[in-house]
Amino acid sequence: MLVCVPEVLSKAEVADFRRIMDAAEWEDGRSTAGAQSALVKKNQQLPPDSEVARRLGQRVLSALTANPLFIAAAIPLHIFPPLFNRYASADGHHFGIHVDNAVRGDRLTGLRIRTDLSVTLFLSEPEDYDGGELTIEDFYGSHEIKLPAGHLVLYPASSLHMVTPVIRGTRTASFFWVQSMVRDAHARSLIFDLDTAIQALVERLGRDDPETVKLTGIYHNLIRYWADV
């Protein structure tokens, strides 16, 4: 399941993020890569334990927990502290085809999560750079993702994916992982589809319509059945 979530951050928030990030110190992005990923990764990132990365990451987490579409799609149990990277055309930055690590650990908090979902939150406008598409492989083929600043994409961490070389400008983003309460990807997709249908019915019939109430009960019982908490 690949879900795009619009306007997680406002344009003003993105501009403030970029102002803070542009003044920060950056490091080689391979410092947080696994053994296989490090062979194909060439970018920069904010040091994950830095005050800047933690402060901006907390702002991202606050925005996520207030976003109904993100919550509906991810059904999050744990969200890894957001990281921040940039790809500059002048340095030939790219990230070759890879799969994210199955488990991620955070040194500061001791949090360890199973990476069910990968997330990229775009912090550069598409017209500000050429190349740099997030390319995700799934059962239905290859998908190239390049969203407006402030929007994010959520996709299975088990997917093969890559960031194509940036050939003009700079691509800046936040990236992180989610451990969902619903481990099974197919079950999570069905629950999301049901939730989407219920919200459409609420718009048409109201939240107290008997059939809407019944379907809402089914939704919660399915989560109760599948949840791993």
Q: Provide the domain count of the chain.
A: 2
- Residues 168, 200, single domain; the answer is no
For residue 185, the model assigns a pLDDT of 95
Residue 177 tokens read as 């992982």
pLDDT < 70 stretches in the chain: 33-35
Distance CA 12, CA 6 (A): 15
For residue 229, the model assigns a pLDDT of 86
Per the structure, the complete domain to which residue 216 belongs is given by: 185-226
CATH of the domain at 120: 2.60.120.620
- Residues 125, 210, single domain; the answer is no
For residue 31, the model assigns a pLDDT of 75
- Residues 154, 203, single domain; the answer is no
For residue 186, the model assigns a pLDDT of 95
- The neighbour count for residue 79, using CB atoms within 10 Å, is 21
CA–CA distances in Å: residue 121 to residues 66, 127, 141, 157, 210: 15, 16, 22, 15, 38
- Residues 112, 139, single domain; the answer is yes
- Residues 54, 39, single domain; the answer is yes
For helices 11-22 and 51-65, give the axis angle rounded to 10 degrees.
170
Interval 178-218: pLDDT, tens: 999 999 999 999 999 999 999 999 999 998 999 999 999 99
For residue 61, the model assigns a pLDDT of 98
Dihedrals phi, psi of 35, to nearest 5 degrees: -60, -45
For residue 104, the model assigns a pLDDT of 95
For residue 93, the model assigns a pLDDT of 96
Identify the burial level of 14 via C-beta atoms within 10 angstroms of its C-beta, where 0-12 means exposed, 13-18 middle and 19 or more buried. Answer: buried
